[in-house]
Structure 1
């Protein structure tokens, strides 16, 4: 029977890890659909930023209540899962609490795991109340209807169940030790390390050892299978940020937020125009025969760079960006969170086509218009409030700007007010409709 259990555990572990690797490969493939971008500079500064923001949660705690709770859940969930190492060893070797040879240190570990499990459980319950009872404004936006709302709740339920299973597993284990059950009594040296689950003992008093073993084994199996399932659910969930927050922060831009990048395609065009010896009709030397010229700006996910696509997968859908957005606050359609969610949805749609057909075939859709509306793009004030607010270094503004560039430079589809201003700049050297000779008339005395 023990051998069968070990074999089943090995199968579950291999299948779970294999499925996870497949999903990670698909994730990387989808991100690589974007344009290359070099973020290999200033490694020391990037590591420091990653340690401060992704590891240290420095931006999360700017909102004290949710930030403090998130730190508890974040730290607790990571540290508690250290025990997964022991569970894996026990599952493969058929042992029970194989690391208990560490004695007093092991007692401290188990005790700290239990305290953290209780804190995580409390934090998750508070998060559920905030999302579903208190009706906090940033959780009521139109983009959080349906799956996004359900996904957030599924994760909360999942974490509640995993923490309860962990405490039930320890409580029944403790009771079996007290009962002197074979295979459990040998671990009696750790009976002092159950500060939380010991309060569950009255539930299990009077039960036979056989019943307790069934409950303990069921909790043990459900706990580890739940973790394996959770690991694979991440790919389909907003909780990918658990894995992607670190590389996302590391690869975020280091320049001042208000500094816009130059499009290489525009730079090349200007250089061509400024070169008196250049042939304007000649194709660039590096261009492949029959290749289309570089597009100005972005109309689809293929036109965005890989960091922008990584941003879309890293979005936690917390809504801090949208809550800080002045355009959104005045009732306009723009929601930076929706920009990131729409980008991810379009990228996933493209990925699904590749999964089915082996390559991308145009389905008649693109990011512009089919997912992100022009009205949303032009509502942005480019204030960078969304970028500053994001706790994991996401830059919705860069996507907005690239899509605006496409509208202006490829479709000449700027709003009338902007078109007038640009015409005035071209003709008069200023956005106002006055001749340059008349620009100082306002200063003349009447």
Structure 2
């Protein structure tokens, strides 16, 4: 009876610990603005099925895609066996499904097939794990050794890979010793090849080893669940909602700023200016902090796998410029975490000066710590972006760093009047001539007519 009680306590403790951190992440995502225009649609469901579940975009790099698929499928299918382990842990039974299906050769055969399939996938996942470790630490692929990957990001990637090795080891220790105890009754494919190694070992020792494997397996799963929200591997969960709510506009189509759009409309139709409602609120152009982002954009930051495909395809980064689209997403996530921690600690020194006398609780509405996203992302990075959408095309889970870069640049230019002299010259000619070239519309029309006449 001690076993089930201990298991229940560990299960509840894991659930409580995980709930707290997952709630922290969800609250941070809600720091952003609701996108009123984003609605469920068949196309969103298609993206979720094809991109998140089907790994469609991963296969642009076949080798890496196959290795990732091995780990991904093993993770999904192993959850089936996990159901039995949880039931066994809570009831104190042993392989409850096998016992239930006594007398049914078909169901027991299906059980053997399912566990054997999981074992084959586990071997494939193990091979993929060693390959991933080699790519990161021995081959040191360029996208894995960028400056933003120093410190925790590198350690995080390695920790989960080492955990995968321990998890697979525990699975085979559990299954092979169980097979040895029951004289290969279960018939698991891979474990039947391992169980002969335990010949001559006493049943008492085998039982202890089986329990070590069983507890090691489930504890590693619990650790993994609690660790996910601290890690880039949160994409295992967030890839699904992120692809569902990803923007459906054509690549390269930039969102209009409502206030500017209304001004242009009034210039084209002066009567519209009198019909439009007058707002007393001073509009804010672009984005300066996480509060100005859409919730989906913050969720994208937490979804980022840090695979570096965006950065490896970025022409600005490839030519030695400071911009790394991956770092942009990591910076947004770090800023959201910083704000979230301050809110949790109720650091009242960060309450906006105008509202300090009204409340003693720090909230997203009165938050002002004197910092913005520009304390994380430099103007040099933002100006290096060519808006080519290579990063958007490369991302396997439909993350769009370009949208955030564009909004930050809009804030720099329209709110802070911070743009290079070359850009200012272009802005002036657009304002005066309706085009970036220093020719009047009449001169351009005359030139076009001359070209047509010459033909």
Same fold (TM over 0.5): yes
> Structure 2 residue aligned with 1:351, among 340, 353, 358?
340
> Structure 2 residue aligned with 1:209, among 185, 188, 203?
203
Can you list the C-alpha shifts for 1:19-73, whole angstroms capped at 9, x where unaligned?
A: 2222222221111110110354461111111111111111111101100111111
For structure 1, the 5+ residue unaligned runs are 179-187
Q: Is the 8 A contact 2:309 2:394 kept in 1?
A: yes
For structure 2, the 5+ residue unaligned runs are 102-106, 347-360
Report the equivalent of 1:181: none
> Structure 2 residue aligned with 1:46, among 34, 44, 50?
44
Is 1:244 aligned with 2:238? yes
Report the equivalent of 2:130: 125
Report the equivalent of 2:324: 335
Report the equivalent of 1:362: 368
Report the equivalent of 1:183: none
TM-superposed deviation, 1:277: 8.7
Q: Is the 8 A contact 2:180 2:196 kept in 1?
A: no
Q: Distance in 1 between matches of 2:218 and 2:272?
A: 69
Report the equivalent of 2:283: 294
TM-superposed deviation, 1:202: 4.4
TM-superposed deviation, 1:270: 4.8
Q: Is the 8 A contact 1:266 1:296 kept in 2?
A: no
TM-superposed deviation, 1:428: 2.3
TM-superposed deviation, 1:96: 0.3
Q: Is the 8 A contact 1:166 1:220 kept in 2?
A: yes
Local SS of the residue matching 2:345: helix
Q: Give the count of matched residue pairs.
A: 424
Counterpart mapping for 1:377-392 below 5 A: 377-392=382-397
Local SS of the residue matching 1:59: helix
Local SS of the residue matching 1:135: coil
Can you list the C-alpha shifts for 1:195-232, whole angstroms capped at 9, x where unaligned?
A: 21233334422222111111111111121111011011
Mark the CA change 1:346 to 1:152 in structure 2 (over 3 Å): closer, same or farther. Answer: same
Counterpart mapping for 1:168-317 below 5 A: 168-178=173-183, 189-190=185-186, 192-193=187-188, 195-270=189-264, 284=279, 293-317=282-306
TM-superposed deviation, 1:267: 3.3
Report the equivalent of 1:149: 154
Q: Distance in 1 between matches of 2:109 and 2:427?
A: 73
Local SS of the residue matching 2:310: helix
Report the equivalent of 1:86: 84
Q: Distance in 2 between matches of 1:321 and 1:71?
A: 20
CA RMSD of aligned residues (A): 2.1
Q: Distance in 1 between matches of 2:442 and 2:59?
A: 54
TM-superposed deviation, 1:9: 0.5
Mark the CA change 1:277 to 1:310 in structure 2 (over 3 Å): closer, same or farther. Answer: closer
Q: Distance in 2 between matches of 1:441 and 1:222?
A: 77
Q: Is the 8 A contact 1:39 1:251 kept in 2?
A: no
Q: Is the 8 A contact 1:296 1:410 kept in 2?
A: yes
Q: Distance in 1 between matches of 2:38 and 2:387?
A: 26
TM-superposed deviation, 1:365: 1.6
Report the equivalent of 2:352: none
Can you list the C-alpha shifts for 1:124-168, whole angstroms capped at 9, x where unaligned?
A: 111110111111111111100110011000010011110111011
Report the equivalent of 2:354: none
Local SS of the residue matching 1:81: helix
Local SS of the residue matching 1:103: helix
Is 1:394 aligned with 2:417? no
Q: Distance in 1 between matches of 2:262 and 2:362?
A: 31
Local SS of the residue matching 1:409: helix
Report the equivalent of 1:57: 55
Q: Distance in 2 between matches of 1:399 and 1:198?
A: 53
Local SS of the residue matching 1:254: coil
> Structure 2 residue aligned with 1:36, among 34, 37, 41?
34
Counterpart mapping for 1:367-446 below 5 A: 367-368=373-374, 370-439=375-444, 440=446
Length-normalised TM-score, structure 1:
0.90
